[in-house]
Amino acid sequence: MTRSQSHFSRPMRRNSAPLALLLTLLLSACASTGTNTSTDTSTAASSDRRLQSRSWNGSTAQSVVAKVGAATGNGDASPLRLEDSLNPGIAVDLTQAAAKEDLWLRLRTGFAMQDLDNDLVHKAENWYSSRPDYVARMTERGSRYLYHIIEEVEKRGMPTELALLPFIESAFNPQAMSTAQASGMWQFVPATGRDFDLKQNIFRDDRRDVLASTRAALDYLVRLNKKFGNWQLALAAYNWGQGNVQRAIDRNLKAGLPTDFENLRMPEETRYYVPKLQAVKNIVISPEKFGLRLPEMDNHPYFLSVNIDRDMDVDVAARLAGMSVEEFKQFNPQMNKPVMLAAKTTQVLLPYDNASAFAVNLAAHRGPLASWTAWVVPKTMKSADAAKQVGMPEAQLLDVNKIPPRMLVKQGSTLLVPRAAHREDDVSEHLADNASLALAPDVPPLQKRSLRAGKNDSVASVAARYRVNAAQLAQWNNVDARARFKPGQSIVLYAANAASQKADAGAGKTSSSSSSSSSRKAASSKAGGVRTAQTNRGNDKAAKPARSSKPVGRSITAAVDANKNGGDTGGFRQVSHR
C-alpha cells in the first residue's frame, strides 16, 4: 500500500468536537436494543468520517481499551469506555494540552545512553542521509508505534533511545521475517519468544503482536542490562546472544584488555549494531543537520485496543471496522488464520476512527460472527479423508491449514474447518493455546534391506538401482557418497516394497527383508520416510536453537514488497550469526 492509498495518511485537522459527538453516539448505540440499528450505524459512519478530519499527523501507537461486549440476540452490548491500557482506570482525553505536545521532544528528553562517535556511526549517518525516501517511510511507519513504546520504556526507567531499536531491527515492520526465522517488529527468534511468553502456534504468532512483543523485548533488554551493567553491551547481547557477549568479555579479561563494547571482538553485524542506533539517535536530535525531515507526531495514542468476547472471522471484523482485510492485518499481524479465537485473542488493534465504527456495527450485527472452528483429528488420515469428514473441499482444507500435497495428517492434530451444526461452539482456551499440526509423507511403507555388493557396485549405482537418495544411502552405511563398495560387502538400505522388488528383479540379486514394525521405525528415523512436520516455525524442534546464548535481535535480509508489507525492513544487509 502506498502512502497515498494508506488508511492512516488521510489528511485531518484538529477538532475535538467530533470526538464528543462520537462518544455520545457510541454510548447511545451500545445501550440501544437494536430497534433502529440502520440509523445508528449510518449516523456513526457519518460521525466516523468527520472524526477522520482530526489531525493525527502520523501520531503513534498506544493501546487504548475500548471495552465493547459482543452483540447479543437482542442487540445489547456493554457500555463503551475509552481507557489507556498502560494507565487503567483513567479515561482518555485527547483534547488535553499534553496530547498536542511534540512526541519527538519527549523522546529526545529521555536520551540517557553513552554516546558513540566513530567511523561506523558516521557510515550509518551517511547511509540514512543519502536515502531520505527510505527514512520517510521508516519514520512514518514507526510513528504508529512510538507513543506506546515510549510509554513502556519510561515506565521501566529505561533510556528512550531504546524506543528507536525497531528502526534497526525491522524498520518498524511488524510482519518482518528474517532468514534466521526471527519475526516481528522486535525480531524474536522462536526459542527466545517462548522464553518471554510469546505464544506461537497454528492460530497466532505473538512475536508479531505489537503490544506483546514490545513488552517482551523491553523485559529482555532490562534483563540483559542487569547482567552486563551496560546498555551498549546489553544491545550487543540482544543482537549476538548473551552467551557470545559473555565469552567475549571473558576473553578480554583473561588477556588483560578492556571489556567495553568498542574493545570486544565480535562479528561485523554486531559491531555495526550500536553505531546504527547512535546514527538514528543523532538524526532524531537534529534531522536538519542531515538534510532529513521527521513526520510530526503528537503525544497521544494512534490506535485503540477493542475487546472481543466471541470467536470472529478476520473478514467480519474488518468489515465491521470499515477496513479492508489487508489494512486490518497491518494492525493485527499476529493472526495466522482467517478466524480470531476469543479464548486467546481477547482484543484487536484498530485506528481510533475504525474502532469507533467497530463498536457501533458490532452492537448492530445480526448473524454469526465466525464461520470457522477447530477440529482435532481423531486418527491419522489422508487429507482427502479429513476433508470429506468435515465437509469441505480437499483443496480448501490444504490451503487454509497450510498443508503440502501428499501428506498424512497425524492423530491429535488441529485443523481449521467450517462450523457446522455439531461444531458451532467457540474454540476452548486449552485448544487455542496448545493447537499443533503434525504431518507425515503419504508414501508406501519403507523396509530395511540387507544386500551384498556386486563387483562394480558403488553408492551411486546402488542408489540408482533402488531409487533412493545417494546421500542417504551413504549415511545409512557410514561411507562417503562417492564411495565404491567392496564385492560381497554388506549394504543396508531402506526402500518401498515395489521399488525394491523391481530393483531385485532387474539386478538378479537376492535380498532379505524385514517387515517388522521396528524396521519401519528405523526407516523413519534414518531415511526420513516418516517425519513429523510442524507447520508453525516456532514449534519446529529440529530447528530450535539453544536458549542459553541465542539472541533475539535478527537482521532482515529479504526484500519486502513495500506496497504489501508497508515498506522496507531494514537499512543494511546483515548476516545472521546463528
What pLDDT sits at residue 506? Answer: 53
What pLDDT sits at residue 246? Answer: 98
What pLDDT sits at residue 328? Answer: 94
What pLDDT sits at residue 129? Answer: 97
Instruction: Return d(Cα 2, Cα 16) in angstroms, integer.
Output: 29
What pLDDT sits at residue 87? Answer: 60
Angle 11-15-16 from CA coordinates, rounded to 5°: 135
More confident residue, 229 or 537: 229
Which has the closest alpha carbon to 346: 70, 79, 153?
Answer: 70
What pLDDT sits at residue 504? Answer: 55
For residue 329, count other CB atoms closer than 10 A to its CB: 17
Average the pLDDT over 302-310 and give the result.
86
* Strand ranges (E), 89-190: none
**348-352, 452-456, 507-511, 561-565, range with greatest mean pLDDT:** 452-456
**pLDDT (tens digit per residue) in 240-281:** 999 999 999 999 999 999 999 999 999 999 999 999 999 999
What pLDDT sits at residue 298? Answer: 87
**156-165, 486-495, 500-509, range with greatest mean pLDDT:** 156-165
More confident residue, 245 or 76: 245
What pLDDT sits at residue 301? Answer: 83
More confident residue, 198 or 31: 198
Average the pLDDT over 177-195 and give the result.
94
Confidence of residue 419 (pLDDT cuts 50, 70, 90): very high
Amino acid sitting at position 11:
P
Confidence of residue 57 (pLDDT cuts 50, 70, 90): very low
Min mean pLDDT across 26-40, 252-266, 286-300, 325-339 is at: 26-40
Which has the closest alpha carbon to 417: 401, 435, 395, 438?
Answer: 401
What pLDDT sits at residue 291? Answer: 96
What pLDDT sits at residue 445? Answer: 74
Average the pLDDT over 60-88 and give the result.
46
Confidence of residue 48 (pLDDT cuts 50, 70, 90): very low
C-alpha cell at 11: 489528511
More confident residue, 511 or 304: 304
Amino acid sitting at position 238:
Y
For the cut 80, the answer to whether the pLDDT of residue 561 exceeds it is no
| Mean pLDDT taken over the chain | 77
What pLDDT sits at residue 379? Answer: 96
What pLDDT sits at residue 49? Answer: 32
More confident residue, 30 or 304: 304
For the cut 50, the answer to whether the pLDDT of residue 356 exceeds it is yes
For the cut 90, the answer to whether the pLDDT of residue 371 exceeds it is yes
Which has the closest alpha carbon to 362: 329, 401, 313, 403?
Answer: 313
For the cut 70, the answer to whether the pLDDT of residue 573 exceeds it is no
For the cut 90, the answer to whether the pLDDT of residue 373 exceeds it is yes
Min mean pLDDT across 196-200, 444-448, 466-470, 567-571 is at: 567-571
* Those residues with Cβ within 8 angstroms of residue 360's Cβ, 6 or more apart along the chain or in another chain: 25, 26, 29, 30, 40, 41, 44
More confident residue, 299 or 34: 299
DSSP SS3 for 377 = coil
Min mean pLDDT across 74-78, 262-266, 286-290, 402-406 is at: 74-78
Average the pLDDT over 401-410 and give the result.
92
Phi-psi region of 136 (alpha: psi -120 to 50; beta: other; left: phi over 0): alpha
What pLDDT sits at residue 501? Answer: 54
Average the pLDDT over 465-486 and give the result.
89
% of the chain at pLDDT higher than 70? 69
Average the pLDDT over 556-576 and give the result.
37
What pLDDT sits at residue 305? Answer: 85
What pLDDT sits at residue 6? Answer: 35
For the cut 50, the answer to whether the pLDDT of residue 158 exceeds it is yes
Confidence of residue 566 (pLDDT cuts 50, 70, 90): very low
Average the pLDDT over 453-465 and give the result.
92
For the cut 80, the answer to whether the pLDDT of residue 51 exceeds it is no
What pLDDT sits at residue 72? Answer: 36
Instruction: Return d(Cα 438, Cα 410) in angstroms, integer.
Output: 6
Query: Residue holding cell 468489515?
Result: 319
Confidence of residue 175 (pLDDT cuts 50, 70, 90): very high
The residue from 169, 262, 268, 288 that is catalytic is 169
Q: How big is the chain, counted in residues?
A: 578
* Those residues with Cβ within 8 angstroms of residue 222's Cβ, 6 or more apart along the chain or in another chain: 156, 158
**169 carries an active-site annotation:** yes
Confidence of residue 94 (pLDDT cuts 50, 70, 90): low
Min mean pLDDT across 35-39, 97-101, 117-121, 310-314 is at: 35-39
**Are the C-beta atoms of residues 523 and 530 closer than 8 Å to each other?**
yes
For the cut 80, the answer to whether the pLDDT of residue 229 exceeds it is yes
Across 224-246, b (16+ Cβ under 10 Å) vs e yields bbeebebbbbbbbbbbbbbebbe
